[in-house]
A and B are shown apart, each in its own frame.
Chain A
Amino acid sequence: MRESNSNSNSGRVTWEGCSVLLDINDGDRLVFARLSPAAKLKIGNKNCSLQPLIGRAFGTVFQVDNAPEGPCLSPAQVNVNNAEEIGDGQGSHELRDKVNVNNVEEVRDGEVNVESRDNRALVDNNTAQSLTGEDIEAMRRQGARGNEIIEALIANSATFEKKTSFSQEKYRLKKQKKYAPKVLMRRPVARSICEAYFKKYPSKIGFLRVDTLSLLLSMANVSSSSDILVVDTVGGLLTGAVAERLGGTGFVCNSYFGQAPYSMDIVRIFNLSDEICKRILRSPISDLLLPKESSEQILQHDVCNVESQSNDETSASVSMVEISHTSENGISDIGTENTEPALEVRKAPKAGERAQKEVIDLWKENGFSSLIVAAPELDTWTLVKDLLPLLANSAPFAIYHQYLQPLATCMHNLQLGKMAIGLQISEPWLREYQVLPSRTHPCMQMSAFGGYILSGTKICSTANSIAPTE
C-alpha cells in the first residue's frame, strides 16, 4: 500500500484512503470518491463496493461483474480480442508490442474505410430486437457478462447487419453503456478535477475552464519555492492547482475578506501529500495588510479563532468522504455529500491552517512572488489595489473574471496609477477536434467561453506615483 507520497505524482497506484475520479461510460457520470473497503457506488441499479479499486493502477478500466456475493467491480480486459494474451503482464513491453501488431491490422482496416452499406433500407419500428427484458434478466441470472449480453442483443437484432458500420458502432456503444458500464479510474489532478467540475457543475468553480486555469498558473509564474497569494472563491480549485505545482515547496496563501474563509472543499479531492498540504495556509487579508508591528496583538487576539477554525471541514481530519452526485435524467451533478464513515480509514491531510505570525512577517518583508485572483464576486479593482502592494517588485499577477468590464476598469486604473506594466486582457479559446479517417472536423459542441484574464507585472512604486482614487 502506498501511503501519502512525498511526491503526489508518484501515486500511480491507488491506496486505501486515496481519492479517485471515477469516469463512468466516457464522462456520462463523473464521481469523486475516497477509496475504502466500506465505500460503495451505485452503478445503474447495482451497488458496487469500491474495495476492488484499492491497490490498482490509475487508468484502469473496471466493469461490473456478477459475482455470487452480488455485483462486483473487476478490471476490464483492455481489448476483447487481445484479452487472453495480455494476462497479467503489467507494463510488459513485449506484450504491448504483441497488442500493437494485432491492432495495426485494425487500423489498416479502418483506413480502407470503404462503406458499402447505407441506411436506405432501415426502418425503425421497434420490432427489430427479439430479445425481451426478461430474456436479458434470465441471462444475467445465469451469470452472463455484459459483453455476452451485448453480443446476444446484436445477434437478435434484425437490423444490425443492415446498419452502416458507423451506426453499428453507435449501437454497440449504446448497449455497452447500458449492459456493460465501464468505470475508468482517473487520477484526481488539477486537469481532471477542473474538467469534471466544468462539465458537471461549472458554477461551483466560477466557470473556470481548464485552459484558463492553466494560463493563470503560468502567467503568475507558479514555480517551486515561490509564495503565491491567492484569492479563491472557486471552491479551492485554484488553491489546489497552485499547491500541486509547488510540490511541497514555497507557500500558497489562501486569503479572504472578513472573518470566514472561503470554502476549499475541492482541495481535498486532490491527492496532496502531507508535505504539500502543509504549504497551503490561510490568512485574512486584514492580517496581511496590517503594518508589521501591529500585527502581533491582532494575531494573539485571534488565537481562539484559530482553534475554532481548525474544526472547519477542510482542516478537520476527515476520515472518509465520498464526493458523489446523483445522475437522474442523465444530468449529473457533482456535489459534496459526507457519507457516514463506517471505518476510520486514514486521517486526511490538513490543508489550510491559519498562517502564523512568523510566516506573515516573512511575506511582509519579502513580498509575495505573485498573485492569482479567481473571485468573481469581489470588486476587482479595489481588491487588486489592496493586494498589489503585498507583491515583491517585478512580481507577475493574473486575475480571472467571467466579465470583461471589471478587468477593463482594473487595467485602466493600474495604468493610470503606474502600478504595473505588461498589462493585458486575454480570453482563451479552446476547440476540440474529432480525428477519424476521412471524418476529421471540429467537434459539434464546444464551450464558447472560458472567461477573461488580466495579467501584468508589478513595478517598483516610486514615491510620487499615486493610485487613482475610487
Chain B
Amino acid sequence: MDLNTDKMLASDPARKFSFNRTISNGDLVIVYERHDNMKAVTVSEGSVLQNRFGVFKHSEWLGKPFGSKIFSNKGGFVYLLAPTPELWTLVLSHRTQILYIADISFVVMYLEIVPGCLVLESGTGSGSLTTSLARAVAPTGHVYTFDFHEQRAGSARDDFERTGLSSLVTVGVRDIQGEGFPDEFTGSADAVFLDLPQPWLAIPSAAKMLKQDGTLCSFSPCIEQVQRSCEVLQISFTDIRTFEVLLRTYEVREEKLESTQRNGDGSNDSLPCKRRQCSDGGNVIRSPISSVMARPCGEARGHTGYLTFARLRCLI
C-alpha cells in the first residue's frame, strides 16, 4: 500500500482534516449519495465509479478537497468524504452482524478507553467495533483482536490495512472460548470486549488478562447469554451492570399548515408570516403558516444486544 495516502487517523499531523487536504491517488474516500447510501472507494487513477447517477472518473477527483461535490458524465452528483470510523461502520462489508454507533460509543466510554490503553477483543467479526477501539487507543495504545474464523480474520486485517489502522490493531486467529486469550497479556489489559456466542466461557480468561480495576464488556443479543455471563462475572468482578442502548432518529420538515384562525377580528393575530401577507393588502387573507417540524422516524432498530459491563474486583 502507498504510505503517502490519506487514511482514517492522522498519525502525521500534517495529514489530518484540513481545508487544504486534497484527494490523491490511493486515498480511501467515502462516496456519499444519500445518508443511507454510501460506499468506500479507494481512488485509483484509471478507474471509474458507476452508479445510478452515471459514470464518475477517479482521475477527476484528484486534487479536489475532501467534502467536494463531484459530477458524473450525466450531471448527477455525489460527495467525496474523508473516512471516519462512523462512516466506515456504514460502508464496511458485513461478514457478520456488527455493532453500530450507539453501542460502539457507549462501549468505548464505559470501558474508559483512552489513548495508550491496551484492549483485547473477541470476536473480531467485521471489525466495526475494532475500528473505533483503534481510534480511542491511538496513538500509543494497541488493540489485539481475535477471531477463530481464519478467513474473517484475514478480511479484517485487509480492512485495517485499507483504513490505515494496521499499526494500532493486531488480528489473531484463536478460539477464545476454548483457549482464552494468550498468556502474554496476563495482567496487562486495560479493557476487554467480548462479542461471542458463549461469553461466559471466555470471562475467566478475561479476568486474568485485566489490570486491577480494569473493565470488561460483553455484548449479547439474548438475555439468556447475559444471565449466564453475569453468574460467572460475580466470581471476580464487581460493578456489574447491564444496559440496552438505542437511538431514535427524527425527520425534520418544513410544512405549510392552514390557519384556522378567523380573519378580520384582528385581536390575537400575532403570527408574523400572516402579518407579512397582509401588510400591503387591506384585507387579511387566510394563508398557510409555514413551520419547521420534527417527528421520530417511523422505523428504527428495536434491539441490538445487551451490554454487560463489569470491573475487575480489587484485591487489597
Q: Which residues of A contact B (CB under 8 A)?
A: 7-10, 12, 57-61, 75-78, 86, 88-93, 95-96, 99-100, 103-104, 106-107, 110-111, 187, 189-191, 210-211, 213-215, 217-219, 221, 223-227, 244-250, 365-370, 391-396, 404-405, 407-409, 411-412, 415, 421-433, 435-437, 440, 452, 457-460, 462
Contacts and interface: CB of A to CB of B under 8 A. Distances in A.
Interface of B: 9-11, 13, 16-21, 32, 35, 65-69, 79-82, 84-86, 101-102, 104-106, 108-110, 112, 114-117, 132, 135-136, 138-140, 186-187, 190, 204, 207-208, 211-213, 223, 226-227, 230-232, 234-236, 238, 240-250, 252, 254, 292-294, 296, 306, 308, 311-316
B68 A219 contact: no
Contact of A431 (B18, B139, B243, B312): B243
B109 A459 contact: no
Contact of B204 (A100, A407, A412, A462): A100
A411 B252 contact: yes
A223 B315 contact: no
Nearest to B132: A218
A99 B11 contact: no
Given A247-B114, A408-B293, A425-B250, A218 B66 contact: no
Contacts, number: 283
B116 A12 contact: no
A394 B250 contact: no
A interface secondary structure, majority: mixed
B207 A221 contact: no
Given A404-B294, A433-B242, 12 more contacts: A60-B314, A61-B314, A78-B314, A89-B315, A107-B232, A393-B66, A411-B252, A422-B35, A422-B81, A425-B249, A431-B243, A433-B226
A226 B17 contact: yes
A245 B292 contact: no
B16 A369 contact: yes
B84 A226 contact: no
Nearest to A8: B114
5 contacts: A91-B211, A225-B9, A247-B116, A412-B252, A428-B246
Contacts of A96: 207-208, 236, 315
Contact of A224 (B69, B117, B138): B138
A440 B67 CA distance: 48
Contacts of A247: 114-116, 139-140
B293 A367 contact: no
Contacts of A458: 67
Give the 8 A-B residue pairs with the shortest CB-CB distance, closest first: A247-B115, A59-B213, A393-B67, A394-B67, A214-B109, A394-B66, A59-B314, A214-B105
A412 B292 contact: yes
Contacts of A394: 17, 21, 65-67, 80-82
A421 B235 contact: no
A465 B208 CA distance: 58
B313 A78 contact: yes
A78 B316 contact: yes
B116 A10 contact: yes
Contact of B65 (A90, A393, A405): A393
B14 to A, nearest CB: 9
Contacts of A58: 213, 314
A392 B308 contact: no
Chain A CB within 10 A, most for which of B101, B140, B230, B235: B235
